[in-house]
Each structure stands twice: as structure tokens, then as C-alpha cells.
């Protein structure tokens, strides 16, 4: 039997692979990261759909993107905040919404809308 000389050995690539979470804290952190990334993806997808539908109704954001962009980003962050809220993950807009939006103010608006539809 012939021996292969060591200089003819091809080393297998040593690809780095992250280790699996081992402790409850690591698992919680990994789960939080996954949920946050998923919320980001969902928010981005829904945001693009909302902007596309607004475009179909005649909104031309391109004519003055600097003017519209802050409101567009606010819509994105609102969607992200709402999705994160359902996952019990904090987002700065959640407290802002609690401080500035009062459900009683919207009750009358909803009643008025319902009356108009009848």
C-alpha cells in the first residue's frame, strides 16, 4: 500500500458556523433577534404594499421625496411597532402612541363613519 505524501493533502475548508444557543439567556436572545428580524421583514413588505397602493391612487412621492419621506418612514415604523407589540417587544412608537392616541377620541369618529355607511 502506498502512502500519500503530506504535501498532496487538501485541507477541507474550515467554515465558521455559529454555535447553537446553549443557555436559556442565549435562547431568549436568539428568539428575540429572530422575532425582530421577522418584524422587520413583515413591516418592509407591508410598507411597500401600502406605498404601492397609494401610488395607484395617484400619490406621486417622486415629485418631492424629501417632503414625503419622513411620513413614509413613520408609516414603516408604525407597522413595525404594531407587529413588535403583538410579540411583546418594545419599540419607541408604542409609548408615543399610548401618550398621544386616546381611544375615546376615535370612538365618536367610528360611530360617525358607521352612521354614514348606513
Query: Cell digits for 92?
Result: 419607541
Give the model's pLDDT for residue 6: 63
**pLDDT tens profile 93-117:** 999 999 998 888 777 665 565 566 6
Question: Cα–Cα distance between 111 and 118 in angstroms, integer?
Answer: 11
**pLDDT tens profile 11-48:** 766 666 667 878 899 999 999 999 999 999 999 999 99
H-assigned helices in 1-118: 24-56, 65-86, 92-100, 103-117
pTM for the whole structure: 0.70
Percent of the chain with pLDDT over 70: 75
Kindly report the average pLDDT of the chain as a whole number: 86
Considering only CA atoms, which of 93, 71, 84 is closest in space to residue 43? Answer: 84
Amino acid at each position: 500500500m502506498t502512502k500519500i505524501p503530506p504535501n498532496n493533502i487538501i485541507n477541507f475548508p474550515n467554515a465558521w458556523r455559529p454555535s447553537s444557543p446553549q443557555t436559556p439567556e442565549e435562547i431568549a436572545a436568539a428568539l428575540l433577534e429572530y422575532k425582530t428580524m421577522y418584524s422587520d421583514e413583515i413591516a418592509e413588505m407591508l410598507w411597500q404594499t401600502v406605498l404601492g397602493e397609494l401610488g395607484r391612487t395617484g400619490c406621486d412621492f417622486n415629485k418631492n421625496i424629501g417632503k414625503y419621506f419622513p411620513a413614509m418612514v413613520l408609516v414603516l415604523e408604525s407597522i413595525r411597532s404594531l407587529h413588535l407589540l403583538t410579540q411583546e417587544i418594545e419599540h419607541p412608537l408604542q409609548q408615543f402612541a399610548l401618550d398621544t392616541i386616546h381611544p375615546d377620541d376615535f370612538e365618536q369618529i367610528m360611530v360617525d363613519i358607521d352612521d354614514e355607511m348606513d
